[in-house]
Amino acid sequence: MGFEQWVNETFGHFNEAYAQFLFYELPLIKLPLILFVMVSGGIYFTFRYGFLNIKLYKHAIEVVKGDYDHPDHEGEITHFQALTSALSATVGLGNIAGVAVAIYAGGPGAVFWIWIVAFFGMCMKFSSCTFAQLYRTKDSRGGMLGGPMVYLEEGLKERGFAKLGKVLGVFFAVMTIMASFGGGNLFQANQTFEIIKMQFPAANALVVGVTLAFLAGIVLLGGIKRIGAVTSKLVPFMCAFYVLSCVAILISNASLVPEMFSQIFIQAFSPDAAFGGFLGVMIQGVRRASFSNEAGLGSAAIAHSAAKTDEPVREGLVAMIGPSIDTHLVCTMTALAILITGANLDPQFAQGGDGLVGVKMTALAFESLGSWMPYALTVAIAIFAYSTVISWSYYGERATEYLFGDKLGGNAIKLYKMSYVFIIILGPLLSVKNVVEFADLMLLSMAFPNILGMMYMSKVVKEKVDDYLNRYKSGQMPKYNN
């Protein structure tokens, strides 16, 4: 048995057993357990905090612009850098390939449910990032340490559940490290090579792996400040390029746009057996939205905990914009570009849909602008994947710091970074499907302790929200940069 086959089979046995629990289909609602928890969490927090995603959306934009930034506030990066660092981990293959897969499996109606889940996910992301600011602390080197592993431990300790808090914190940190190695690293590097090979068949896997590892390593050495500086430039530029390309497709087919929106709304509630009926369409939308914006997983809270602010709620509002950009903007542009060009109806996609087929479907839509556009899309996807790699390295690094601190002679983070860079090189060389599925299971597992813990402790954030709203409405909040 070869190494690759051994790795696949070893992880495959675990995945099969664990997925039966994580994706256990609940009776009546026919929704997998983990997705039910994530959807329920989004609805709960939206009502719990009084629809902040509507009330304070305009204010959140002002915060991101820097109107409330103060250089003396504690933290390492600005509100904008925190948002782009978190977005760089979510905007990528999920938006470009995942939406195509959702349309393939659930039809145009799945897009509607992607919008709905993202809407409710905004308050869930607000909650986790506010908690991260409330309970953040300093690590052994003086940097900021925050996220679900910290606030689950500290928050539950305050309520007399110290052991449970520690167990959940450690569980979350371990899941984060595993997810960073697989979904945030191996999958991104592997798919980057596959996408490049689509347009450049002579591409060399080792060259792509080493190049990506080198470029990532340069940024990893600088920590969150370097990551924030890079993503604050990369993410807006690539999002703008991608969205404008989609807008160009829509403009060239402007007369069809109303019909596309009509299809999305009508088929969202369609009992069409071709897509598994109403529940089948809804489930596809829920799954793709959950994978795309990561609301409820708590990963973004790790980045937002490093933001410079003395107002935890304010950083939560910044984070709240993430699902709106990631899903309502980028995913919508992808969906409309595919539907309006009819790329989803091409015969080559009749046999099945996976991540790579999803990318091909989006590339086919982009071809309507010219034969050179798929090459430009390849560059965009590679940069999105690169930004995901560097952001997830920070999540794994913070989880490593939480677990080990000064243990191992203070070398735990060095060992983590070395392993992370090595796995980037392996990504294009291996086709370890089951390892990536394992990483996805770890990623989704982060949602269980995070959402349930936040629900139990939500009174803390609710009190902060009420206080913030009162001061905001009364004009007691000074702007530092007008």
Question: pLDDT tens digits, residue range 397-444?
Answer: 999 999 988 776 568 888 999 999 998 988 888 766 676 677 778 888
Spatial distance between the Cα atoms of 345 and 363, rounded to a whole number of angstroms? 14
Enter the tokens of residue 45: 């927090």
Contact by Cβ (8 Å): 135, 373: no
- The pLDDT tens digits for 302-345 are 988 888 888 899 999 999 998 888 888 888 888 899 999 988 88
Question: Measured between alpha carbons, how far is residue 443 from residues 38, 223, 293, 327 in Å?
Answer: 12, 22, 12, 18
pLDDT the model gives residue 130: 95
Contact by Cβ (8 Å): 192, 386: yes
Question: Given a cut of 50, is residue 462 above it in pLDDT?
Answer: yes
Residue with tokens 């291996």: 430
Question: Given a cut of 60, is residue 245 above it in pLDDT?
Answer: yes
- The pLDDT tens digits for 439-457 are 778 888 888 899 999 999 9
Contact by Cβ (8 Å): 390, 129: no
pTM of the model: 0.87
Nearest-CA neighbor of 172 among 188, 156, 191, 185?
156
**Domains in the chain and their CATH numbers?**
14-21+32-468 (1.20.1740)
pLDDT the model gives residue 165: 94
Q: Tell which phi-psi region holds residue 261, choosing left (phi > 0), alpha (psi between -120 and 50) or beta.
A: alpha
Report the chain's mean pLDDT, rounded to a whole number. Answer: 83
Residue with tokens 């992370």: 420
Average pLDDT over residues 9-36: 82
Give strand pairing partners of 142: none
Nearest-CA neighbor of 449 among 166, 133, 49?
166
Q: Which residues contact 331 (CB under 8 A, 6 or more apart)?
A: 95, 98, 99, 111, 114, 118, 288, 289, 292
Contact by Cβ (8 Å): 180, 443: no
